[in-house]
Structure 1
Amino acid sequence: MPGIGQSGASPAPSPESLGVIISMPPALAEELGQWRETFAGSGASAVPAHITLVSGRAKGSWAEAAEHVRTIAREASPFTISLRGTGTFAPVSDVVFLKLDAGVEECVDLHARLLDGPLEHLVEFGFHPHLTIAHDLDQPAMERAETALADFGAELEVSSIGLYDYSHGGWALREELPLGGGLS
């Protein structure tokens, strides 16, 4: 899964590179993938829609970082995210995203707790939970994305987080970790 970083950025490939994300339920992922293809073409859905919690690397060993992510997942509770409308990071970054109406505090808390350990977040911008719809496209495509999804709304239950590593030239899911220690 290339490009799981916030705002389309991804850390430099290394054995210690890791990402922690919230995946979308299959039906919502398919719908959002179709929207992304509308704006950026057929390659846009190669990276499924997600919310990035950490895009970075292990400060020490992968094993220590992975165990830390497992611990945070076990200690966290499932929560609801509500996606409502669009926003943009322009002119700082050419990104159009779906805004989180509910679930922001939980995402910010998870992000902070994940970084309170052997993980580094390697994105040049501050953490702002969002779901990228379009990035690095020409201005007309960015404007179409922002306008077309301005009234978009969806809710999802977050019951797990995905732990990814960067290997063999792309992002790969290592573990889907249930929140609260339950089954995902």
Structure 2
Amino acid sequence: MGTVTIGVSIAVPEPHGSRLQQLRAGFGDAAAHGIPTHVTLLPPTEADSAVLPAVEAHLAKVAAAGRPFPMRLAGTGTFRPLSPVVFLRVVEGGTACNWLQERVRDTSGPIRRELQFPYHPHVTVAHGIEEAAMDRAFAELADYEAQWPCTGFALYEQGADGVWRKLREFPFGGAVVPPQADRLDRGSLPIR
């Protein structure tokens, strides 16, 4: 059957997603138009295409156990000098993202993956570009803010052309962001 490159992420919704993608391209990041704006739950991972049905079944179970939670981005951060990345910080929703990524990669499931770096939820706005452009991205987006109710995540596949395409969405088991959702990141987990 062959090998595919997959990833799992939370999409940054419109109008924020397109706007951030345009800004990323404007900073000189050539990969910007092939990567939908997102918060990663599973980084690019090679898998046998025959395993995709099991992956989808596993992700459906993970999503069914979750419930909507608030996501908020505010300000910039960087992984430099360790990694040439400037990102928007996830200031609300990070605990829920961590909970999700642990379950996506759970050793009992079909996506067993060790991470190169400790998990840190973020939205990349510049990657692998000139230092001056990285500095510009960091400064220009320092006051950027966006928020939305996160209601699920999606499985993506990277095509031979380098473009990431959504294969399937996985909505959470609960359909409504609960009134207490603003407290989720202050100690409780997004599970029923």
Length-normalised TM-score, structure 2 = 0.80
Gaps of 5+ in 1: 1-13
- Asked if 1:178 corresponds to 2:171, the answer is yes
The CA deviation string for residues 66-106 of structure 1, in whole angstroms up to 9 with x for no partner, is 11011101111011111010000000000000001000000
1:32 alignment counterpart: 20
- Asked if the contact 1:84–1:153 (Cα under 8 Å) also holds between the matched residues in 2, the reply is yes
SS at match of 1:53: strand
Does residue 61 of structure 1 match 2:51?
yes
Distance in 1 separating the partners of 2:158 and 2:35: 14
Radius of gyration: which is bigger?
Answer: 2
Q: Following TM superposition, by how much is the alpha carbon of 1:43 offset from its aligned partner in structure 2, in angstroms?
A: 5.7
Identity of aligned residues (%): 35
Q: 1:150 Cα shift?
A: 0.8
Q: Which moved more, 1:73-82 or 1:162-171?
A: 162-171
Q: State the one-letter code of the partner of 2:8.
A: V
Shift of 1:40: 1.2
Compute the displacement of 1:15 (Å): 2.5
The one-letter amino acid paired with 1:114 is: V
How many Å apart are 1:121 and its aligned residue? Answer: 3.3
Number of corresponding residues = 170
Amino acid at match of 1:18: I
Paired position in structure 2 for 1:72: 62
Write the distance in 2 (CA, Å) between the matches of 1:33 and 1:169.
18
Give the aligned residue type for 1:53. L
Kept in 2: contact 1:36–1:133 (CA 8 A): yes
What is the rounded CA distance, in whole Å, between the counterparts of 1:41 and 1:28 in structure 2? 17
Which of the residues 120, 124, 148 maps onto 1:132? 124
In the alignment, structure 2 segments of 5+ residues that lack a partner are 177-192
**Is the contact made by 2:63 and 2:152 (CA closer than 8 Å) also made in structure 1?**
yes
Shift of 1:122: 6.0
Provide the alpha-carbon RMSD of the alignment: 2.3
- The residue aligned with 1:95 is 85
The amino acid across from 1:99 in the alignment is R
Distance 2:92 2:68 in 1: 13
Shift of the 142–166 alpha-carbon distance from structure 1 to 2, 3 Å rule, reads: closer
Say which SS state the counterpart of residue 112 (structure 2) adopts. Answer: strand
Other structure's SS at 2:117 match: coil
* Cα separation, 2, equivalents of 1:58 and 1:78: 28
- Take 2:46 and 2:61, find their aligned partners in 1: how far apart are those partners? 17
CA gap of 1:120–1:167, structure 2 versus 1, over 3 A, is farther
| Contact 2:29–2:127 (CA under 8 A) maintained in structure 1 | no
- TM-superposed deviation, 1:58: 4.6
Shift of 1:166: 3.7
Is structure 2 residue 79 aligned with structure 1 residue 86? no
- Counterpart residue type for residue 33 of structure 2: S
| TM superposition score normalised by structure 1 | 0.83
